Amino acid sequence: MRKFWKNMTPNKKTILLLAVIVIVGFVFRSYNFSEWLRFNMDQSRDINLVEKSIEENSWPLLGPKAGGTDFKLGPIFYHFQIISAKIFSADPVSIAYPDLFFSILSIPLFFLLARILFNRSIALSLSGLFSISYFVIKYSRFGWNPNSTPFFVMLFIYAVYQINNIQGRKKNLWAILAGVSMGIGVQLHTTLMIIMPISALIFAYYLFKNKTLTKACVGIVFIGAMLVNAPQIVGELQTGGLNTRAFIWGVMDKNGRNNNFGNNIILNATCHIRANYGILSSYSNEENCGYDDIVRKSKKLDSKKMVFSDKIIFTLYLFVATIFSLGGYYLAFREFRKETDLNRKFFAKLALSYVFLTFVFFTVWATELSMRFFLILEFVPFLLLGFWLKFAQEKLKKRWITIAFIALFSLLNLQKNYSVFNDLQFGGREVNGDFEYITLGEANFVIKYIKENNDGDSVAYMDAQAGYLFKAFRSLQYVAQKSDIELVEFGKEINLASGSRLFYLKNAGEKCELPDKILKKYIIEKCEIYRQFSVFALRVR
C-alpha cells in the first residue's frame, strides 16, 4: 500500500484524497436523511405546492415569500424540487435532495477556490474541514430556499475568475456558468438579489481593466441570467409589476427599522466575527449573532453568577473569535497587496470585493441579521483559516501547527455533529432547549400513533403546548392526509363532548405528566414518548 501511494503522481493523490473527503461529506449529510429530515411549516408548504404543480402539469412563476414581506423570490427553488420529485417521487424527502446535492458539489468546488490561493496540503485540509463543518452540514439536511446559496455564490466567483484566466471558446462556457449561477442565486435569497448584480458590475469592471472581457461574454452572462429568471419576468408582466412593488415596500420597511447607522456597524461587525468563528468551529449561538447576549454575559464576569471555568471559556471565545476574523482579513489583504501571481491576485480581489460588498449591505439591514444570513459567506471563514495556516507555515516553518489547527477545528465539529445526531435520535433537542423543528420521522410516528388510537374515526383533534402547533401542525396535517386522517387543530371554538378523543403533544422532558389544569378536563388513556415528544391520547371527562 505504501509503495502504491509512493508511486502515485501528486495529481492522482489529490484526486483520491478529495474523493475521500467528498465521500465523508456525503455520509455526514445523508446519514438517516429521511428519518431526521426537518419538516416544519415551510417544508409542508413546499411539498403541497410541488404535488399540485405535478398534478396540474404546471410550473410556478414565483417562489417562496421573503421573510417578513409579501415579496416572492424567483421560482427556481420550486423548479429544482419539482424536477427532483419527477425523478424520484413526490414526497418530503425527494424535494430536499437538490439542497443535499448542491451541498455535496460545494465540497470539490470549494477545493478549487482554495487551491487558487493556497498550496495543495492547505487546500485539502480546508476542504476536509469544510466537508465536516456542522454549520455547512446543518443547512444541507433539509429543503429551504437559502440552503444552496453557498454553491451558486462560489460557482459565480469561480466562473468570473475563469473568464479572466481562459482564452478562446472556453471563455464563453464560463460566461454561461457565471450568468446561470447569478440568475439562480438571486432567486434563492433576497440579499443576493442586490449583492450578486452589483458584484457582477464590479467584476465586469475588473475584467474590463484587464482587457479580458469580451462583448460576447457580457451578452452571454446577461442572457443566461435573464433566461433563468424568465418565469419571474413573465409573472411580473402578467401582474403589472405587483411583486416588484412588494419588494420595494419590503425594502422600505426594513430600512425604516435600521436607521441607527453607528449601532448597525457595531452589530454587523459583531455578527461577522461571531459567524466566521461559529461556522468554522461550531461554537456559537445557532440563531442569533448580535451582541446582546455578549453584553449580558460580560456583566456577569465580575460576579458569582458565572462559574470561573465559564468565565475563562467566554473570555477566550471573545478573544479568539475577534483575533481570528480581524487577523484573517488583515492577512488576506496583506497577501493581496504583495501577491505577484496575477491570476491569484485577481481571484483575491474578487473574493475580497464580494465580502466587502456583503458587509456594506449587511450594515444597512443589520438589525435583521442572524446566523442563517451568513450562508452566502459560508466559504469565507475557511479561506481566512487558510491565510492563517499559510502565515504559520511561512513564518514559523512548523507543519505541525497546520495539523494542530485542522485537528482542533475538526474535533470541535465532529463533537457537535455527534451531539446533534445523538439528540435527533434520542430527543435531546427538546429536553434541553426550545422547540425548533419536527422531523419527518417524528411526524410519521405521531400520525401512526393517532391512527392506532383514534377508535377508527377519520377525524382527529390535536392540541399541544405553546408554540408547537405553529411550527408542526401543517406538517402533521400533511402526513395525516396521506394516512386518510383529517387532522383538526383544537381551539376554543371547538366543543368536544364527554368521552371524545383528543391528542396532545408536548416535550418529553416531563415524560407522561401533564399540568393539573389539563387533567381537570381530560383523562390520560395512553401516552408514548418518542424522541423529543410525549404523545398523549386523552379522553374528555
Please spell the DSSP secondary structure of 416-479, one letter per residue. HHHHHHHHHHHTHHHHHS-----BHHHHHHHHHHHHHTSTT-SEEEEEESTTHHHHHHHHHHHH
Residue of 335, 413, 393, 345 lying closest to 122 (CA atoms):
393
What pLDDT digit, counting tens, does each position of 9-33 carry? 778 889 999 999 999 999 999 999 9
State the burial class of residue 188 (Cβ atoms within 10 Å of its Cβ: 0-12, 13-18, 19+).
Answer: buried
Q: Can you give the pLDDT at residue 1? A: 60
Query: Would you say residue 426 lies in a domain?
Result: no
Q: What are the cell numbers at 387?
A: 491565510
DSSP summary character for residue 500: -
pLDDT above 50: residue 541: yes
Query: Would you say residue 365 lies in a domain?
Result: yes
Query: Would you say residue 433 lies in a domain?
Result: no
Residues 191, 195, 198, CA angle at the centre, nearest 5°? Answer: 150
Q: Are 207 and 213 in contact (CB under 8 A)?
A: yes
* pLDDT range class, residue 432, cuts 50, 70, 90: very low
Residue of 126, 111, 45 lying closest to 78 (CA atoms):
45
Distance CA 370, CA 388 (A): 26
Query: Would you say residue 89 lies in a domain?
Result: yes
Q: Can you give the pLDDT at residue 11? A: 83
Q: Can you give the pLDDT at residue 260? A: 76
Query: Would you say residue 427 lies in a domain?
Result: no
* pLDDT range class, residue 254, cuts 50, 70, 90: low
Q: Can you give the pLDDT at residue 7? A: 66
Q: Same structural domain for residues 111 and 157?
A: yes
Distance CA 420, CA 416 (A): 6
Q: What percent of the chain has pLDDT over 70?
A: 94
Query: Would you say residue 430 lies in a domain?
Result: no
Domain end (from 367, 386, 421): 421
pLDDT above 90: residue 301: no
Q: Same structural domain for residues 395 and 466?
A: no
pLDDT mean over 46-50: 96
Weakest-pLDDT range from 12-16, 100-104, 459-463, 535-539:
12-16
pLDDT above 70: residue 245: yes
Distance CA 526, CA 341 (A): 71
Share the mean pLDDT of the chain: 90
Phi and psi torsions of 87, nearest 5°: -75, -45
Q: Which amino acid is at 311?
A: K
Q: Same structural domain for residues 381 and 452?
A: no
Q: Same structural domain for residues 403 and 471?
A: no
User: Which CA distances in Å does 441 have to 19, 35, 427?
Assistant: 31, 4, 12
* pLDDT range class, residue 378, cuts 50, 70, 90: very high
pLDDT above 50: residue 263: yes
Residue of 133, 141, 131, 135 lying closest to 101 (CA atoms):
141
Distance CA 109, CA 320 (A): 28
Q: Can you give the pLDDT at residue 450? A: 95
pLDDT, greater one: 302 or 382: 382
Q: Same structural domain for residues 183 and 321?
A: yes
**Structural domain count, the chain:** 2
pLDDT mean over 358-385: 93
* pLDDT range class, residue 120, cuts 50, 70, 90: very high
Return all residues near 246 (Cβ < 8 A) that are at least 6 apart. Answer: 69, 70, 71, 72
Q: What are the cell numbers at 112?
A: 478549487
Kindly report the pTM of this predicted structure. Answer: 0.93
Distance CA 180, CA 220 (A): 9
Q: Same structural domain for residues 244 and 206?
A: yes
Q: What are the cell numbers at 78?
A: 420550486
Q: Can you give the pLDDT at residue 66? A: 82
Q: Same structural domain for residues 384 and 452?
A: no
Distance CA 460, CA 479 (A): 13
Query: Would you say residue 434 lies in a domain?
Result: no
What pLDDT digit, counting tens, does each position of 185-204 carry? 999 999 999 999 999 999 99
Q: Same structural domain for residues 95 and 135?
A: yes
DSSP summary character for residue 8: S
Distance CA 216, CA 203 (A): 16
Instruction: Residue 462: give the domain boundaries.
Output: 440-540
Domain end (from 421, 449, 474): 421
Q: Same structural domain for residues 461 and 321?
A: no
User: Which CA distances in Å does 99 have to 106, 236, 489?
Assistant: 10, 27, 31
Q: Can you give the pLDDT at residue 4? A: 66
Q: Same structural domain for residues 301 and 403?
A: yes
Domain end (from 356, 388, 421): 421
Query: Would you say residue 36 lies in a domain?
Result: yes
Q: Can you give the pLDDT at residue 102? A: 98
Q: Same structural domain for residues 265 and 319?
A: yes
Distance CA 45, CA 475 (A): 8
Weakest-pLDDT range from 163-172, 310-319, 448-457, 475-484:
310-319
Q: Are 38 and 138 in contact (CB under 8 A)?
A: no
Q: Are 521 and 540 in contact (CB under 8 A)?
A: yes
* DSSP H helical ranges for 339-398: 342-364, 380-396
To 10 degrees, what angle do helices 440-452 and 468-482 make?
Answer: 70
Q: What percent of the chain has pLDDT over 90?
A: 69
Q: Same structural domain for residues 332 and 398?
A: yes
Weakest-pLDDT range from 222-226, 294-298, 390-394:
294-298
